[in-house]
Structure 1
Amino acid sequence: MVSQLPLAHWHHQGLQLWHLAHTPGSRGEPLARTVLGPALGMAPAALPISRSERGRPQLDAPLGGFDAGWSHSGGHLLVALGQRVRLGVDLERIQPRPKMAEVIARFFHPAEIDWLLGLDEAGRQHWFFRVWCAKEALLKAHGHGISFGLHRFALLARGSDLVLAHSDVELGPAASWQLHEWAIADDFRAALAWQVAGACDNGGHEHPYPPR
């Protein structure tokens, strides 16, 4: 894989993120290696990347203290890197979802259902993709992916922000999770979720902020 200059490179609370142009239909890992390698002082091909039983990428020794993830959609690839954290990144294209209300009612947490189905169509469209993208990022960080169950934790609005309002015990305390989300392009949402390594050993937690 030939290295390319990232479209953007950010530093956020000790984490690094890269936005790269991506060829639809191609794998994300080879391109992710081209930015992770230099950042970690290794040749891209030499990076010790393996997969968990559930397919989550992980960095092995001597880079076991680092975590990395990537997500691609359309012509975009996001790559994230952090140390002493578990992180997940997701990228979603905003497009019409004719059965959006059915998806919410079937798969989301009861508090999210009450909130999202109470919005008008424009509001529901806006928040649905933000919630979905953030849920994917958090579950990638956790390592189980979407099979864990979207209904087992709730992301709710606090003003213009999303907060983790309820966390399943297996995810650890809600306060242990950090979330950053943004629009990477007019029709794409991006989300980065991370947790200090080992924090999920504690019980679930209710966030004090109500939805708005």
Structure 2
Amino acid sequence: LSLFQGFLSFADLERADRFRFGQDRRDFILTRGMLRVLISRYVHTAPERIDLIYSPSGQPTLAGAHTPPLKFSLSHSRDLVLYAFALETPVGIDVEFCGYDLDFQAIAGAFFDPEEQQFLESVPGADRGAVFFRLWSFKEAYLKARGLGLSTSMPRYSIGLPGPGRSRVVVSEDAHGPLSPPREWLIQSVEVHPEYLAAVAAEGTGWSLQFWEVSPPASGNGGES
């Protein structure tokens, strides 16, 4: 853990110290430290010299101009962390652990639009949890790619209905003026583990995914792990 602490900025370390529970603090240090390690491999800069800034919704981005122009997103749920990287194209990713027994309809009432709520209510009870988490992961990945806050934007944006067996959704954004074509965003499910559902979203429809599984590097200094 000490290796990753050394990669973080003072602001990130302050943020880590504000977590109430030790496990949450440890998870934050590991996920943000690993993010800096991965970014460093793209921009050829030491992890501790990566300068990140945060949007009002809390999403990190690279400060200043970099070559290549890197866009990225991360998501953490229980024991799994996913990172998405793209060149120039805005990207968002989300992963959700599906083992929680929740009041799915009540949560949908607060965060989904009326059509999505009605669709979820029509799903048989045995499948409702999987459909809920699929829809949630699609929406969160899309909103992250758009750079929008989740709490205020979730009910306002409908992204289609990714029911069972549907792994891709294309969302068309309204044109910004008569001469601007609509922007399209592809949201695609990502199969990572039987107990998790995940999705990645990016602008355009011609992109494809490449996958890597990475492990945190060993510190080699006998520090806490």
- Measured against aligned partners, the alpha-carbon deviations of 1:3-29 in whole angstroms (never above 9, x if no partner) come to 8xxxxxxxxxxxxxxxxxxx9522121
What is the letter of the counterpart of residue 44 of structure 2? G
The offset of 1:131, in angstroms, is 0.6
Matched residue, 2:85 = 81
Is it true that 1:160 corresponds to 2:166 in the alignment?
A: yes
Instruction: Kindly provide the amino acid, as one letter, of the partner of residue 124 in structure 2.
Output: D
In 2, the alpha carbon distance for the partners of 1:33 and 1:95 equals: 30
Equivalent residues of 2:172, 2:184 under 8 A apart:
no
CA distance 1:174–1:98, shift in 2 (3 Å): farther
Which of the residues 147, 151, 164 maps onto 2:151? Answer: 147
Secondary structure in structure 1 of the residue aligned to 2:65 = coil
5+ residue gaps, structure 2, are: 5-21, 205-225
Which residue of 190, 193, 201 corresponds with 1:185? 193
Q: TM-score, normalised by structure 1?
A: 0.71
Tell me the matched-pair count: 176
CA-CA distance at 1:120 after TM superposition: 0.2
Which structure has more strand as a fraction of its residues?
Answer: 1
Stretch of structure 1 that moved more, 126-135 or 23-32: 23-32
| CA distance in structure 1 between the partners assigned to 2:127 and 2:77 by the alignment | 23
Query: Structure 2: how far apart are the matches of 1:165 and 1:57?
Result: 24
Q: Is the 8 A contact 1:165 1:174 kept in 2?
A: no
Cα distance in 2 for partners of 1:126, 1:173 equals 35
Runs of 4+ in structure 1 deviating by more than 4 angstroms, as ranges, are 164-170, 172-175
Alpha-carbon RMSD across the aligned residues, in angstroms, is: 2.8
Write out aligned runs for 1:126-145 (5 A): 126-145=130-149
TM score, norm. by length of structure 2: 0.67
Q: In the TM superposition, what is the alpha-carbon distance from 1:174 to its structure 2 partner? A: 7.5
- Note if contact 2:170-2:184 (Cα within 8 Å) is conserved in structure 1: no
Change (3 A) 1:100 1:30: same
> SS at the partner of 2:100?
coil
**1:114 to 1:177, Cα distance in 2 relative to 1, 3 A:** same
Whether the 8 Å CA contact 1:152–1:167 is kept in 2: the answer is no
The equivalent residue for 2:42 is 39
- Which structure has the greater CA radius of gyration? 2
1:184, CA displacement in angstroms? 1.4
Unaligned runs of 5+ in 1: 4-22, 197-212
Which residue in 1 is equivalent to 2:33?
Answer: 30
The aligned amino acid for 2:93 is V
Report the structure, 1 or 2, having the larger helix content. Answer: 2
Call closer, same or farther: CA 1:75–1:96 in 2, change over 3 Å. Answer: closer
Change beyond 3 A, Cα 1:142–1:128: same
